[in-house]
Structure 1
Amino acid sequence: MRFLYLLSFMGCVCLELYGGSAVSAGGIGNRYFLEKQRFLLEILHHVHEPLLNDQWRSLGERLVSDKTQYVVYNDQMADFYEAFSRGRLVPREVYYNALYPEHYRQSLGLYYFFYHTRDWITLWQNICWARVHVNPGLFLQALTQVLLKREDYQALVMPKIYELWPESYHQAVTVRSAQNFNFANWIRQQNTFTSQLQQEVQQILPQELQPIHLEGNLRSSTKWFEAMADVRILRLTEHQRGQNSIQHLTEDIGWQSYWYYINMGIAQTENGSLELQEWWYSQLGQLLARYKLERYGQQLPYKHFTLLDAANMGTPHLLTWLNQRFRLVTPTTTKKVTEALEALETNVAEAISTRRYILSNGSSIDLEAGDNWRIGLSQLFPFDLTKLQMESASEPQLLLDLCTSVRSPDFYYYAERVLRSYRWYRQALQHNIKGSVGPTDLRIEAMDISPLITYDEPVDVDLSNLLHARHFHFDGHFMWPFTLQQRQYRLQQEPFSFSLQISSNKTQSIIIRLFLTTAENGGSVNREPFYQLDSFLTVLYEGVNRITRDSRDISGLIGDHISLTELHQYVRLAEQEEFDFPLNISTPNCGFPRRLILPRGGRRNPLQMRLLVVATVYDFKARQANELNCDFSKGVSRWDELPLGYPFERYLEEEDEAERLVGDHTFWQPVEINHVDRFPRL
């Protein structure tokens, strides 16, 4: 996660247009791009409600069935069209979940009806048809996929999932307050100071919107005030969150959406390679380690989880778009997941003991011969939606929804068990990495680090898609007269920097990996979480070297993005030729929130932790890919050929610890994290 490259949408990203005209010039969207971007925002506006735009409704009367309009017409498309013809599509009112086999198959068919279109006109009509006739969740899944996967449409900005589908990311009381809001009544009651509605919803000035600093400084320019001039900004006060001390992490919309997007990016990726499997498991390990560090900081049990721990976390107060209440997990689901895990653990134990594995075609392979251990790894450990499916459930469950799974405490219990088997398999069967991994003729002598400080930061989250669509249509025209934001408080951190003093007897290139872990000094390192904060390439020269690094330079991290309402207003302003719309106006979807890399510090007593620095040889095999934008078609970025997560991709025995974690190429540094109160609650 830490060594991903931040790539921009700027440059020569091209979209397909009417008549083949170019969309972008110098990274600025032209009128053809803006037409598509406005259409996308309007078609996704209140995606859970019936479409009110007559223009798009009339265009979506028919799905394009002419096979010549598609580059490929495959079996999935034929199956989808047959299901539609026979009236067997997932009903609009049914709760959609990509982990249910029938739901996934239909979303795959619709995805190909989007992906394989020869031109924009066909795609345009198919999108309109699906918006009118298809289950909203299924439609959103397929459209998200095609905008992530087709290079000619990747410049289009897809609003964030927690703004399109807020019901799954906010408490039920927040959802109902927004859904019950009536703008006309609010206007009439403005002078009624005792009105409960007035107390709950207040109009604020544009400059009061938080955070002020977005990626690209989009809230600090005069153009932003021009764009928002005709929009009333209303703020819904924050409702009290649960008392669980870990919820500031698990309820963070950035934390939740990160897992959603990396799974969306990997799904339907043609290059479903072992490298993607390794990357997926490294991200799962990162999430588990980060979660454990937060529990450690909150003085909660963190070394080993049980289902009893999960059961004591309380009942979630979340709704789906159908206003059904999420459950943590049903007994049936617990039984099925447990049985699947037990089967995995049995198969892994047998593979390790016998050194053989029976493939899906019935043939047996020797796992110690050549790279056969990799074949066993690929078949034993699933990582994409085609293999992570469950029977349909009668009601929504946090664990079984990609939007909410990391909010479920069961997720971390199951993740720990899966990763335990994954690492034991690699420890037993992967050829050990020896030789030139640890650089010679150097010594990490000292480390200095600036204060590590966390705080609770106020932020306004766009809930506009929770309001009824009728508020936004006047005389057949789509308008955006106001936006509803909710004030929340989230974990944030001060930027920090560190410097390393390294002596070297020669000029050499090395990779520095930086891990955050607990302050525990005894026992096995396998029981402690190691969260990779950073990795970077640096050059050492003969003599003493001072290497300085700023937290804002860590790759793979993102800041705050432009909201759904602001995005629409900027498009409107650009169509009036009063704003040059940049093609990198939003943050990448598969980036991890920069503000969440440190656990909450201590208020009175600092949180004691340790940093581990590991230096490895640079082998000149670095590769830059585009996974930050959820594009896995060309693999993932990496510095070298070491396993992702090295040196913790496997369980370490004593000799492994001595080789990987002890020596002049490693350094342990105690650190303290403090939490300060900077912003009074409203």
Structure 2
Amino acid sequence: MKILVLVLCVSVVCLATPSPPKDFGTGLRKLKMSDKILLERQKNILRLFKNINQICSCKDELQIATTYSIEERSSDYTNSQVVKQFLTFYKQGLLPRDRIFSVLNEVHLKQAITLFKLFYYAKDWDTFYKTAVWARNHVNAGMFVYSLSVAMVFRADTYGLVVPAIYEVLPMAFFSSEVVQEAEVFKQKLKDSNEMQRHTIVSNYSGYYLNLHPEQSMSYYTEDIGLNAFYYYCNVYYPFWMDGEEFKLKNDRRGEQYYYLYQQLLARYYLERLSNDFGEIDMVYWDEPVKTGYYPSLTYPNGLEFPSRPNFAKLSEYFYNYGQSWSFKSRYGYSYTLVKDYERRIRDIIDWGYIPTKDGKQIELYTPEGFDILGNIIESNPCSPNTKYFGPLQIYARHLLGYAPQSLNNLDVAPSALEHFETASRDPVFYQFYKRIVLLFQRYKTNLPPYSYKEMSFPGVKVEKIDVDRLTTYFDYFDTDATNMVYLTPEELEKENVQIRVRQQRLNHKPFSFRINVNSETAQDAVVRVYLGPKYDEFGRKINMQENRLNFMELDQFIWQLKAGKNTIERNSRQFYWHIPDRTSYRDIYKKVLGALTDGEEVQLDASEAFYGFPNRLLLPKGKPNGQVFQMYVIVNPYKAPSFQQKKQETDYYFHRIGTGNNYVDNYAFGYPFDRLIDEYNFYVPNSAFRDVVIYHKSLDEVNSSQAQNEP
């Protein structure tokens, strides 16, 4: 019998990942166990995420859930304090299973962190799995999904196992109330049957029928399930609350990554806005009404609707709390004041150039590590030198801008879309707020000198020409398994004969390649960066490069060995380092794993099944039917190895794990050379070049017709 372990390509992590070693083979990791054991574990993990809002009815799991005792097995965890803390929370009363969980709620977060640590400090696989099975039936469903997902990233024996896509696990966070209603009606009409019963629901986006503001007409992009899932996973791999010392996140330029994530999300959003004749991204102002309303059209699993925000919503405590109960039992009622205080303090330290620490000392800010420290401060993660003074700016801002009502207690809450990572990027105000955040970072960068000609240039190297295939986008259909949004009977769960799919139109593009002709005087290692940015604004005016630099989205970054003489560097859009294809559905993955266990079938899955990256489909902005001009920028620089060297014990993987400090290609600043102000006399170096590109948006029929005729 032939059993092949999950075959995954190179990992894609939040920013860049070095090329895989030449001996990259058939294993996700250098296995020290049999393939069958790994496949059994994969099967068990998949089952834990199935029908998450229902108590598991599988006999073997149900037996574990009813007989396993964390208290009696406390010696099976390597951190006894975590066990005591969790049991205290459990006995006092955890968030009930059917309540709404938000990781941005202070009380919910404390419980979720303790649950994560319970999973993380389980001493072996058996303890970890039994703890997860027990928690599956005893803790809040949303908290379970979040804490287990984070634990699987950071445990050595689970890193690389596939977790179902979050939009299949929690579909109600991704599809409208209209879809949920139709799914429930279909389920109510079902009769007992041994045959598969399928139903497909065609879904629109919220901007289709409840468009409170013109911004919501772009909901096809902001509510794309791939984009929303990407943002969710960014915060699973790099949780804002996680201790950088304990889990080594400080090794990964954590604060700088935080900045670059949002700068790139804003750049990509602006490109899409230009395709829809919108201009600059608006920015929220705390003392002015938020003119952009939002109706999310989402329903929680317990039936409550997501709160909406009206147009011209006033933000002061008097207005957004008017008539509601609030006091110091919850600081969220003071979000308006806290946000202004925290932001002012951050601006002050950027101007002062030093940071006051908890013990009254001062840290210089304008040092090689200063920008990374600033990122930790703005995110308010535990790597910040003074979390109390600066505070969680983004948490209170999300509550304030989401316009959710104040809750009477921390168990019965109805957070806004902004207060969940899986739904936050649906709201146009998400981008307006993070524009403020990015500009805070840029306040720091403008105090740094522009890159000099020496820093920009690569002696002996010249980019002579850039060729790009025709760029075409279109909308196609994608089916998502959303069966988890309805209640299934134990018989239906056992037979697995009910399937509800949601069909949506989503932005996509035809695969394309680019070719870069480079001349090098000597053979040497180089790093190639490729960006896509606008050339004209919404009025057709050419944008000055100084104003335009933050609008460039990084398409690709890779190491290349230049040979002496002429070099032709060719890359296909499917190779781009942080872009991934669509996820395989839970059912298909489960069938493959089950087939490998029973029939010896081969299991071949892409890296995106176990990791995350930006959706390849959204690589290009929509463009226009008659074409829209953008520009591609290429720069080739000498290779500079990352400053943090990977430890020997961390090389048991064919990819770099989170916390190793090697989750990026080189040691340049993220966003280089657009991260600083531009001195145009030094910016245009021979080892860089611009190229105009035109993006055409066509119908699916036109695309299929051109492919049939073998047109480019």
> Which category describes the TM-score, using the shorter chain as reference length?
0.7 to 0.9
Mark the CA change 1:94 to 1:674 in structure 2 (over 3 Å): closer, same or farther: same
Q: Which residue of 1 aligns with 2:638?
A: 617
> Which sits farther off after the overlay, 49-58 or 281-290?
49-58
Q: Which residue of 2 aligns with 1:314?
A: 294
Contact 1:14 1:155 in 2 (8 A): no
Shift of 1:303: 4.7
Contact 2:532 2:633 in 1 (8 A): yes
Partners of 1:375 and 1:481 lie apart in 2 by 51
Shift of 1:668: 1.6
Opposite residue 150 of structure 1, the aligned amino acid is R
Shift of 1:666: 2.2
Q: What pairs with 1:380-399 in structure 2 (closer than 5 Å)?
A: 380-382=377-379, 384=381, 387=392, 389-390=395-396, 394-399=413-418
Contact 2:255 2:371 in 1 (8 A): no
Partners of 2:183 and 2:18 lie apart in 1 by 38
Correspondence 1:501 to 2:502 = no
Partners of 1:317 and 1:548 lie apart in 2 by 44
Contact 2:119 2:128 in 1 (8 A): yes
Partners of 1:145 and 1:584 lie apart in 2 by 20
Aligned residue among 259, 271, 275 for 2:248: 271
- Tell me, what secondary structure is at the counterpart of 2:462? strand
Partners of 2:348 and 2:522 lie apart in 1 by 47
Q: Which residue of 1 aligns with 2:358?
A: 360
Opposite residue 253 of structure 1, the aligned amino acid is I
Q: Which residue of 2 aligns with 1:51?
A: 56
Q: Which residue of 2 aligns with 1:181?
A: 186
Partners of 2:180 and 2:569 lie apart in 1 by 49
Contact 1:497 1:550 in 2 (8 A): yes
Query: Per-residue CA shift, 1:533-582, capped at 9, x if unaligned?
Result: 11222344444433322212211221122201222333333343252345
Mark the CA change 1:239 to 1:670 in structure 2 (over 3 Å): closer, same or farther: closer
- Tell me, what secondary structure is at the counterpart of 2:186? coil
Aligned residue among 628, 638, 647 for 2:673: 647
Aligned residue among 229, 241, 257 for 1:257: 229
Shift of 1:344: 4.3
Correspondence 1:634 to 2:634 = no
Opposite residue 507 of structure 1, the aligned amino acid is A
Q: Which residue of 2 aligns with 1:198?
A: none
Aligned residue among 66, 90, 96 for 1:84: 90
- Tell me, what secondary structure is at the counterpart of 1:242? helix
Mark the CA change 1:431 to 1:377 in structure 2 (over 3 Å): closer, same or farther: farther
Contact 1:601 1:607 in 2 (8 A): yes
Shift of 1:136: 0.8
Partners of 1:416 and 1:9 lie apart in 2 by 42
Partners of 2:511 and 2:303 lie apart in 1 by 40
Opposite residue 355 of structure 2, the aligned amino acid is Y
Contact 1:295 1:301 in 2 (8 A): yes
Q: Which residue of 2 aligns with 1:168?
A: 173
- Tell me, what secondary structure is at the counterpart of 1:598? coil
Shift of 1:328: 4.4
Aligned residue among 561, 583, 601 for 1:579: 601
Partners of 1:541 and 1:77 lie apart in 2 by 57
Shift of 1:173: 0.6
Contact 1:282 1:649 in 2 (8 A): no
Partners of 2:656 and 2:564 lie apart in 1 by 40
- Tell me, what secondary structure is at the counterpart of 2:694? strand
Q: Which residue of 2 aligns with 1:462?
A: 481
Q: Which residue of 1 aligns with 2:410?
A: none
Shift of 1:152: 0.9
Aligned residue among 259, 264, 272 for 1:281: 259
Partners of 1:430 and 1:324 lie apart in 2 by 52
Shift of 1:76: 3.7
Partners of 1:302 and 1:266 lie apart in 2 by 29
Q: Which residue of 2 aligns with 1:482?
A: 498
Opposite residue 300 of structure 2, the aligned amino acid is T
Contact 2:183 2:486 in 1 (8 A): yes
Instruction: Mark the runs of 5 or more structure 2 residues left unpaired by the alignment.
Output: 1-13, 209-215, 321-331, 400-405, 408-412, 537-541, 704-712
Correspondence 1:551 to 2:573 = yes
- Tell me, what secondary structure is at the counterpart of 2:667? coil
Opposite residue 670 of structure 1, the aligned amino acid is D
Contact 1:50 1:132 in 2 (8 A): yes
Partners of 1:437 and 1:287 lie apart in 2 by 25
Query: Per-residue CA shift, 1:338-360, capped at 9, x if unaligned?
Result: 54553344234322433332122
Partners of 2:297 and 2:202 lie apart in 1 by 17
Partners of 2:202 and 2:99 lie apart in 1 by 31
Mark the CA change 1:444 to 1:72 in structure 2 (over 3 Å): closer, same or farther: same
Contact 1:275 1:636 in 2 (8 A): no
Partners of 2:34 and 2:189 lie apart in 1 by 40
Q: What pairs with 1:12-411 in structure 2 (closer than 5 Å)?
A: 13=29, 22-24=33-35, 30=36, 32-61=37-66, 62-66=68-72, 69-86=75-92, 88-182=93-187, 185=190, 231=196, 233-239=198-204, 241-243=206-208, 244-267=216-239, 268=242, 270-273=247-250, 275-306=253-284, 311-328=291-308, 331=315, 339-368=337-366, 371=368, 373-374=370-371, 377=374, 380-382=377-379, 384=381, 387=392, 389-390=395-396, 394-411=413-430
> Which sits farther off after the overlay, 147-156 or 620-629?
620-629
Aligned residue among 600, 620, 629 for 1:598: 620
Contact 1:328 1:408 in 2 (8 A): no
Query: Per-residue CA shift, 1:233-259, capped at 9, x if unaligned?
Result: 542233465234311111111100101
Instruction: Mark the runs of 5 or more structure 1 residues left unpaired by the alignment.
Output: 16-20, 25-29, 189-228
> Which sits farther off after the overlay, 173-182 or 158-167?
173-182
Query: Per-residue CA shift, 1:562-620, capped at 9, x if unaligned?
Result: 201222333333343252345768623322111111000201x2111111222222235
TM-score, scaled to structure 1: 0.82
Aligned residue among 470, 473, 489 for 2:491: 473
Identity %: 23
Query: Per-residue CA shift, 1:45-100, capped at 9, x if unaligned?
Result: 211123333442332124321465334224343222112123x2112232101111
- Tell me, what secondary structure is at the counterpart of 2:130? helix
Q: What pairs with 1:661-676 in structure 2 (closer than 5 Å)?
A: 661-676=683-698
Query: Per-residue CA shift, 1:142-190, capped at 9, x if unaligned?
Result: 21122211121234321111100000001111122113323763789xx
RMSD: 3.4
Shift of 1:633: 2.3
Mark the CA change 1:359 to 1:328 in structure 2 (over 3 Å): closer, same or farther: farther
Partners of 1:618 and 1:568 lie apart in 2 by 42
Q: Which residue of 2 aligns with 1:567?
A: 589
Contact 2:56 2:137 in 1 (8 A): yes
Partners of 1:636 and 1:349 lie apart in 2 by 31
Contact 1:459 1:489 in 2 (8 A): yes
Opposite residue 379 of structure 2, the aligned amino acid is P
Opposite residue 254 of structure 1, the aligned amino acid is G
Contact 1:352 1:425 in 2 (8 A): yes
Contact 1:610 1:671 in 2 (8 A): yes
Partners of 2:506 and 2:139 lie apart in 1 by 36
Aligned residue among 464, 481, 485 for 1:445: 464
Contact 2:457 2:686 in 1 (8 A): no
Correspondence 1:534 to 2:534 = no
Opposite residue 606 of structure 1, the aligned amino acid is G
Shift of 1:524: 5.0
Correspondence 1:514 to 2:530 = yes
Query: Per-residue CA shift, 1:95-142, capped at 9, x if unaligned?
Result: 101111211111111122222122333223322221221111111112
Opposite residue 381 of structure 1, the aligned amino acid is I
Partners of 1:356 and 1:241 lie apart in 2 by 45
Partners of 1:540 and 1:6 lie apart in 2 by 15
Mark the CA change 1:262 to 1:489 in structure 2 (over 3 Å): closer, same or farther: same
Query: Per-residue CA shift, 1:215-243, capped at 9, x if unaligned?
Result: xxxxxxxxxxxxxx975554223346523
Mark the CA change 1:619 to 1:506 in structure 2 (over 3 Å): closer, same or farther: same
Partners of 2:553 and 2:201 lie apart in 1 by 35
